[in-house]
Structure 1
């Protein structure tokens, strides 16, 4: 396989997606500009032939899913009738406990998360009815079982039924943070920072309505560190939204997210040794520092009662106490069944259950001092419950 036979021509990918699905309407919001910038970013930065093929295949899959989703929106009018009431968004720096907290909350039968298999297959199987098992589900279960002993699983354990980040739905707009490493590379990084995020969240709402039609839920619980950049957009699309903001010392966060970024790049882009790991390390730090700055600034303009703050240390030490605080702050009722389910989840998932992933700062061209200086606006504020 050579680079020359791996095409990054947008019209060719679009034609493949149309051919795969038999549909030709991508709906709203516009997708072509994001697709073009993503392809340019992959072409410039992904040199490994197999990695190029994986990135190309993924974009065709996104386009095909977008086409199938639009067909469902047009042919199933009940989707648009679904109400998404007062969703709760978990956000904050990555590696600050956002996933662990969401996993615990969604263990309660009263709560509804975006599950991994739904994020992969948001559109309904043809002629399926609400509540029916998706025939693609068991294949994803088997595929994810093959990743159990990977380094990635030690950092971010997933199976078909774990709740996942909203960015997996955002990707179908050909915008958002995608897999996470694209936002560290140009020109996609600069392009995304200039975008209005409201259309992206409006599309997420339509996808949530489709998922709610397929498998109804009561209280939606969502999460992504990327939501720090989208607080204003979220409030425009979901004016009754509430937020849980997770906090952790950036000195622990930055090397951890760099390590995860490195693993994801290797999984999809293959060999990326031609890229400067120090430059990427600094880019990771800057992305999340600026996201946090912007998110906290947007938060200042909103009522404080729609936010609950949680330190990673508090959650590790007393997870159910954090849950109680969330329920009380947002006026949620906890049934005995939900309490028992969440406690069972805590008991079954001790810290480090899936192994520990080791990482270091020097590998990414960073020092504790560099991180401390960049995040001083956050750590020195004396306002946030930051823990190691």
Structure 2
């Protein structure tokens, strides 16, 4: 069995959270009986991890919380399944780029505690599957990951709580992406946590500029510009029909491994439609806040067709240094992933009409029609 074929076992990211945050979540959101064993196992691992992360918080984090973030971060934004992971993996080949690793995203405060890291990263290597459920992306503890998993580890404020409690997805969006009804002191605590996470990522992966890939940030532009006025943004978009099919497949395959709460298929489908509308509308409203030469919009189709030209243009448009030095690294990576195969999808004519009605504004904004390569079935076909 190759590494990519390795079966694995996933647990909710709360295994590495502050115990106070874990108790807050378990006290405020209902855990379904069928996931009780998973919840108990999450608590047990969290308690075992407690002394290691406590040591890091007390003796190590202060150093990084005081560290200046000298270079403006680069934020890759866009809806899930729009090519954000693909772009993140390419750009992370640039030696100047630092990123949150999969291990750091789950155990953000057991990163520089040597004994704790030896234990928990060792277990993580054994448990993590070779590829991600829902697509064929290779997984590994040291590979780039979304920082949203770790952003709620100390301050109870992370949209990715929805992986554990999916019935609260809409509530989490309003509270943790739009920051509605959130006390300012909590938001400021979240900002400090974010900067600490970035400082530790810079040290952990050895680069000089933080590279973020975090879809929830697509609707947090105003807040991110307050934190990092010179930040660069790369928005990647994809045909909404493909995004819907891929998102639905991804969510339905990932949720069974992370959720602590049941949710009906119809309710999750409704959330998927709402989430895309909210995220894209919020992005379009905030896009104009980004100063000139700090935003590039690219199409997934362009990145897929000619990745090197796309990356070269991206560096030039954002006035980012280092393309020539990084070009050999990009070449090696792009050659290595040539055999990657995407999932194939079918769709009904009825669903096509719903996507056009709900997400037509985005199809019009970026000039998308019905993809020719997707098989459209008649509504009465099984």
Q: Decide: shared fold, TM above 0.5.
A: yes
Deviations 1:74-96 (A, max 9, x none): 6x436512324210000111111
In the alignment, is the contact (CA less than 8 A) between 1:198 and 1:234 conserved in 2?
Answer: no
**Residue 223 of structure 2 is aligned to residue 242 of structure 1:** no
Q: Could you tell me whether the CA contact under 8 Å between 2:132 and 2:138 is conserved in 1?
A: no
Q: How far is 1:291 from its partner?
A: 1.3
For residue 378 of structure 1, what is the aligned residue in structure 2?
Answer: 362
User: Which of 72, 75, 84 lines up with 1:89 in the alignment?
Assistant: 75
- Counting only pairs closer than 5 Å after superposition, residues 119-268 of structure 1 correspond to structure 2 as 119-123=105-109, 134-136=117-119, 139=122, 142-143=125-126, 147-148=129-130, 151-152=133-134, 154-172=135-153, 173-178=155-160, 180-182=162-164, 184-186=166-168, 188-189=171-172, 191-192=175-176, 194=180, 196=182, 199-268=189-258
Matched, 1:343 2:331: yes
**Alignment match, 1:71:** 58
Q: Tell me the distance in 1 between the aligned counterparts of 2:117 and 2:106.
A: 11
Equivalent residue number for residue 87 of structure 2: 101
Mean CA deviation greater in 46-55 or 233-242? 46-55
Asked whether 1:117 is paired with 2:139, we answer no
How big is the shift at 1:277? 0.2
Residues in 1 aligned to 2:120 and 2:284: alpha-carbon distance in whole angstroms:
38
Shift of 1:69: 4.9
In the aligned structure 1, how far is the partner of 2:110 from the partner of 2:282?
Answer: 36
- After superposition, residues 313-332 of structure 1 pair within 5 angstroms as 313-332=301-320
Partners of 1:347 and 1:236 in 2: how far apart? 39
Residues 322/265 of structure 1: CA separation in 2 closer, same or farther (3 Å cut) = same
SS at match of 1:171: coil
Change (3 A) 1:63 1:264: farther
Q: Secondary structure at the match of 2:66?
A: helix
Contact kept in structure 2, 1:184 and 1:284, CA below 8 Å: no
- Paired position in structure 1 for 2:375: none
Give the Cα–Cα distance (whole angstroms) in 1 for the partners of residues 192 and 156 of structure 2.
14
| Mapped partners of 2:52, 2:286: distance in 1 | 32
TM-score, normalised via structure 1 length:
0.76
* Matching residue within 343, 359, 367 for 2:351: 367
RMSD: 3.6
Distance 1:217 1:181 in 2: 30
User: C-alpha displacement at 1:186, in angstroms?
Assistant: 2.6
Name the SS of the counterpart of 1:375 in structure 2. Answer: helix
Deviation at 1:246, TM superposition (A): 0.3
Provide the residue aligned with 1:334 in structure 2: 322
Q: 1:315: Cα distance to partner?
A: 0.6
Change over 3 Å in CA distance of 1:139–1:148 after alignment to 2:
same
TM-score (norm 2): 0.77
Q: Distance in 2 between matches of 1:376 and 1:312?
A: 18
Q: 1:182 to 1:166 in 2, by over 3 A?
A: same
CA contact (8 A) 1:243 1:307 kept: yes
In 1: Cα distance, 2:293 partner to 2:113 partner: 43
CA deviation after TM superposition for structure 1 residue 262, in Å: 1.5
Deviations 1:325-368 (A, max 9, x none): 111012222354411011110000126x2x54455567xxx812
Matched, 1:295 2:283: yes
Alpha-carbon offset, residue 65 of structure 1: 7.7
5+ residue gaps in structure 1? Answer: 1-12, 19-30
Matched positions, count = 347
Given that residues 238 and 299 in structure 2 are in contact (C-alpha distance below 8 angstroms), is that contact kept between their aligned partners in structure 1? Answer: yes
1:50 equivalent in alignment to 2:37:
yes
